[in-house]
């Protein structure tokens, strides 16, 4: 369940992983305070993976669950563009080039254009959002993201009234991403990777474009320089290394639902009442806080965000629209 947290956080507390867990424990004990001053967030062009982000605003969105250690978040990743092995992307993405980086804006939008990454980010304040992440493979994490509410960016881009959906596309670069090379063992996907949301999902306050985690620039293997985070959906919806954003009138194709619609739907909402055809979704294994033989956690409807997002799907058959 989400809780409100509010307290001025110094820059060193926000960005230093060694202090992070102590800081969160302190915040849990000071929830009586309310309100936090806004700070201007700038994402500088010269920052690199592992460098601290400055002027990060503390968001009201948080969780009282223990956060997953940084080394687990950054070394247990699904990033098939690099490898189907979860531990390989950290190694294979080490020299991945995230500068220069452009993001093309296409489709039903007032001014289709392409932004340099810095110009795309610059007008917006960075926020820290601590979210649960639930993978469709029945494992989970708690991640302290740094990013920008997607709704703020969409408003600035000015989509037309015909825009009912939004589609995202990952970089296609087989020279840098070995998982995209023809015949690469075990990937089997059509590239580039694409994902999509309904416009009301994209505009929801919880939906985030992340550029960092644990107060630092997003590691390459976690989707640098910018990725989507939709905490009530299975992790494969949170597309990484975005280079295109399209506003569309009709529901877009998405990679996993096109490849295997029986197992992966367009919506991909976390739902413990609808099992994957090959495994149960009623429980999850929390990475970093247990092992394969430890008791599992009960999976929550919409990953614990039902109070905020259930209304988006009022009247829908959630067993049919998976």
How far is Cα 20 from Cα 12, in angstroms, rounded to an integer?
10
Say what the pLDDT of residue 290 is.
66
pLDDT below 70 — which residues of the chain? 1-49, 184-187, 290
Q: Quick check: is 200 in a domain?
A: yes
143 contacts 221 by C-beta, under 8 angstroms: no
Which candidate, 196, 319, 190, places its Cα nearest to that of 251?
196
Say what the pLDDT of residue 185 is.
59
Sign of the dihedral through C-alpha 284, 288, 290, 291: positive
Q: Quick check: is 217 in a domain?
A: yes
What is the tens place of the pLDDT at every residue in 1-13? 333 332 333 333 3
User: Cα 135 to chain center, whole Å?
Assistant: 11
What is the tens place of the pLDDT at every residue in 47-70? 466 799 999 998 888 888 899 999
Say what the pLDDT of residue 109 is.
98
Say what the pLDDT of residue 62 is.
81
Question: Which residue do the tokens 């550029």 mark?
Answer: 211
Do the bridges between strand 102-107 and strand 242-248 make them parallel or antiparallel, or are there none, so unpaired?
Answer: parallel
Range of the domain at 178: 2-313
Please provide the DSSP assignment of 115-167 as one string.
EEHHHHHTTS-EEEEEEEEE-TTSEEEEEEEEEEEHHHHHHHH-B-TT--EEE
Q: Quick check: is 318 in a domain?
A: no
Q: Quick check: is 320 in a domain?
A: no
Identify the H or E element spanning 72. helix 70-75
3-state secondary structure of 176: coil
Structural domains in the chain (count): 1
Identify the H or E element spanning 92. helix 89-92
Say what the pLDDT of residue 229 is.
98
Q: Quick check: is 319 in a domain?
A: no
Say what the pLDDT of residue 28 is.
40
CATH of residue 274: 3.90.420.10
Q: Quick check: is 6 in a domain?
A: yes
Say what the pTM is.
0.86
């Amino acid at each position: 369940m989400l809780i409100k947290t509010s307290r001025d956080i110094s820059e060193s507390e926000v960005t230093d992983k060694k202090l992070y867990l102590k800081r969160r424990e302190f915040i849990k004990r000071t929830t009586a305070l309310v309100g936090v001053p806004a700070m201007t967030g700038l994402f500088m062009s010269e920052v690199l993976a592992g460098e601290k982000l400055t002027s990060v605003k503390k968001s009201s969105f948080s969780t009282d669950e223990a956060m997953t250690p940084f080394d687990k978040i950054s070394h247990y990743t699904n990033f098939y563009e690099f490898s189907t092995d979860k531990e390989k992307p950290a190694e294979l993405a080490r020299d991945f080039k995230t500068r220069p980086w452009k993001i093309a804006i296409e489709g039903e939008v007032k001014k289709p254009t392409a932004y340099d990454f810095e110009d795309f980010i610059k007008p917006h304040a960075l926020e820290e959002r601590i979210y649960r992440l639930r993978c469709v493979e029945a494992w989970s994490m708690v991640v302290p993201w740094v990013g920008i509410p997607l709704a703020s960016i969409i408003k600035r881009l000015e989509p037309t009234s015909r825009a009912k959906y939004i589609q995202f596309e990952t970089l296609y670069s087989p020279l840098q991403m070995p998982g995209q090379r023809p015949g690469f063992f075990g990937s089997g996907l059509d590239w580039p990777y694409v994902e999509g949301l309904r416009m009301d999902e994209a505009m929801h306050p919880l939906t985030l474009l992340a550029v960092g985690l644990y107060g630092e620039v997003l590691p390459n293997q976690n989707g640098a320089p910018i990725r989507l985070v939709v905490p009530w959906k299975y992790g494969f919806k949170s597309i990484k290394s975005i280079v295109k954003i399209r506003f569309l009138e009709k529901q877009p194709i998405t990679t996993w639902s096109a490849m295997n619609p029986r197992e992966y739907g367009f919506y991909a909402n976390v739902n413990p009442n609808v099992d994957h055809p090959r495994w149960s979704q009623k429980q999850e294994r929390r990475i970093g806080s247990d092992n394969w033989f430890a008791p599992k956690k009960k999976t929550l409807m919409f990953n614990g965000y039902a109070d905020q997002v259930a209304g988006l799907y009022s009247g829908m058959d959630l067993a049919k629209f998976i």
